[in-house]
Every structure is written in C-alpha cells, then in structure tokens.
Amino acid sequence: MSDKMKIMLVFGTRPEAIKMAPLLHKLREYPEIFDVKCCVTAQHRQMLDNVLETFSITPDYDLDIMKAGQDLTDITSNVLTALRDLFKTERPDFILVHGDTSTTMAASMASFYAGIKIGHVEAGLRTHNLYAPFPEEFNRKMAGMVANLHFAPTQKSAQNLINEGVDSQKIFITGNSVIDALYFMTDKLDNDADFTVKIDHEINSQLGFDWQASQYILMTGHRRENFGVNFINICRAIKHLSVKYPSTQFIYPVHLNPNVIKPVNDILADCPNVHLIKPLNYEPFVRLLSKSHIILTDSGGIQEEAPSLGKPVLVMRDVTERPEAVDAGTVKLVGADYENIIRHVSMLLDDNAYYQSMSGAHNPYGDGTTAEQIVKILENHKAD
C-alpha cells in the first residue's frame, strides 16, 4: 500500500484553472510524496480548455457537465452526483478546491458527504453581503464551513475566517497563486521572443489598430449581479467616454454569456474606438494587461493581477472581497454607476498626478511562492 498522500484538485472555470495550475505543477514536482490527480467539471468548457492548453494540463477526470442553458441548480446537482460516483472508486486523502465558484461549493459538499478532507485555496475572502457578488459570497462561505485547511491569501482574509470561528491552527496565510501564474507568464513574455511574437500576432488578428503604440483601456465585464440595467449603464458610460476621448482606445474581450453580449453589441458596436473582441486566452490577456493604461472591470482576479503590474483598476462593483488593493490605492470601487464610471476614468485620463497615485506597483497578494507554501503545508499534514 502506498504511503503517498493522495491529492485531487477539482476545478471547473477559467479563473480557477489559472490559479490552480501553479499548484498542480508544484505538487507534481514531488512524486515521492504526493499522488496527484486533476478533475475538471468543465463548468465553463471553452474558456477552461484554453487555460488547460496554456498550462499543459491534461485532466485525469473530466466531468464535462456544461450544458446549454444551464443554471446554478444544474451546475450544483451535476457536480454533486458526478463526484459522488467518482469518489466511490477514487478516494483521495484531500481534495483541493479554489475560491468561490459553484464547482467549488458543490465539490466541497460532495467531499464532505464522502468523508474526504478539503483544502480551500484562496480562502476567507468576504464582502459580508451574501448577494454581492452572487452566488460567489455564498459559495466561498459554504466551502469554508466544511474545509479542513484554509489557504488564505492575506491577513485580512485569515481574520475573516477567525471571526467566523475557524480554528486558527487550520488557517495559513500563503498569498494568492494568481501571482505565481502571472509571474510565470510575464517572465515568459519578457524572455521568450518567439513566444511573444506569436502572442502579438494573435492579438493583431483581433485588433485593427496599433495597440502597442496606443493608449488603451482594457475592460472586462461578466458579473451576474450586473446583468440587466447595470450592464446597460456600464455600456452607456463607455460609449460616452469613447466620444469624449476619441484618441483613447477601449479594448473589450466580450464574455460569451448572452446577458453580456446583447447590451454590449447593442450599445457599443458602432463606436470606432471601442474594440469588441472574442474572449482572449490567458497569454494574450496578460500581454494586453501589461501594456494597458487603465483597467475597467467587474472581475475578481484582475483586482489581484493588475496591482502587480502597476495598473490603476476601476472596479464596476459596489463591494469587493479584495479590499487590500483598495487600501493600497491601486483599486477604486466605482460601481455600475454611469456618472461614477465617467468621472473616475476622466480623472485618470486628465490628471497625471491622480494617475500616478494609483499606478504604483503595490502588490498585497504575495510574492509568487504561494504554490510552494501550500505544498509544504500539505506535506506537514500528511500524517493527519
């Protein structure tokens, strides 16, 4: 009988895959200690597959749950039943889940039901509003209730868990593995000329202007709580800004969700300096991120990545579970508010002192060693 620790990483979306890839590869550097398996739910199929290819990940198990028109109930029930069946034959000592997706919540429940220990990566993030973001705040709290080990990215996230009654001996401040992934990719872009030429060609095929010689704002928007009137307000603000600043380019990789595609195309398709493009793979996105002037987003992970690159970030949400960069001054919450978005983008474009105050390279989310730290913690718990 093997005395290796059996670890299974379970994830299903593009952001999870980016953040779990460094941990998966680091665990596999120690085959004498860990027997490592990777299970993807494919909650997001196409966007997940792009990241798997980027980081050379071949899943051991692919639950392939994505179906047209699926809702949160479909995702949760399909992950629960698929993992129930998998756990009948595959019995890891630990599963590792990440963050706040429905895959994370359902996988944690399935593991709890099966009596399998759970390690929660990126644990302890909180807005303290169960409906913002929805359903992410609920998902991460549910995972935190049943996790045995909590890998918190910052002191604040660790304190959130302590405040909820989690045993401090089970909480470990490790930084965020998104910085591991970001440093890996920026290093490759900086030092592999052939690779960078290939990525630039991929970007050029989507953009009809000289993006490397232009000032541009990089945008993302996909949050469920912004569907409807909020997205209309966001798009109207972008349209106003595109007219006000005709020499500034706006690059928007548009999420595949129909709730995003329709208002974006209805309002922004005819703006000459707004470039609506297909979702980008991780490599070209990091390349554009590194060359951008301002980031406008409702995403979570970009709030962690952009400060490491010295980019001001305006977050189109009312609350954030990542307050550290707000405190550092590189992130500002502007909500999905038409006037607020216009005001703060205008300030960054018009006031260089204000821009400089936000663009300092503050990095509150770690030093790129998160995966190594988690591996050492798991090794120390091998006999538990």
Taking alpha carbons only, the member of 373, 376, 378, 365 closest to residue 182 is 365
Q: Where are the alpha helices (DSSP H) in 192-281?
A: 193-204, 229-244, 258-268
Query: Which backbone phi and psi does 37 adopt, to 5 degrees?
Result: -125, 150
> 378: helix, coil or strand?
helix
H or E segment to which residue 96 belongs: strand 94-98
> Which position has the token pair 């997205």?
231
**In terms of C-beta density within 10 A (0-12 exposed, 13-18 middle, 19 or more buried), how is residue 1 classed?**
exposed
The answer to whether the CB of 111 falls within 8 A of the CB of 72 is: no
Task: Determine the residue type at 275.
Answer: H
Sign of CA dihedral 285, 289, 293, 296: positive
Cα separation, 253 vs 287, whole angstroms: 13
**In terms of C-beta density within 10 A (0-12 exposed, 13-18 middle, 19 or more buried), how is residue 7 classed?**
buried
Task: Determine the residue type at 236.
Answer: R
- What's 189's DSSP letter? H
Q: Where are the alpha helices (DSSP H) in 213-257?
A: 229-244
Q: Report residue 163 as tokens.
A: 């405040």
- Contacts of range 185-191, beta carbons closer than 8 Å, 24 or more positions apart: 185/282, 185/283, 185/286, 186/286, 186/290, 186/309, 188/283, 189/283, 189/286, 189/287, 189/290
For the chain, report the end-to-end CA distance as a whole number of angstroms: 17
Q: Which residues are catalytic?
A: 100, 122, 136, 222, 224, 255
Cα separation, 345 vs 265, whole angstroms: 21
Cα separation, 198 vs 283, whole angstroms: 10
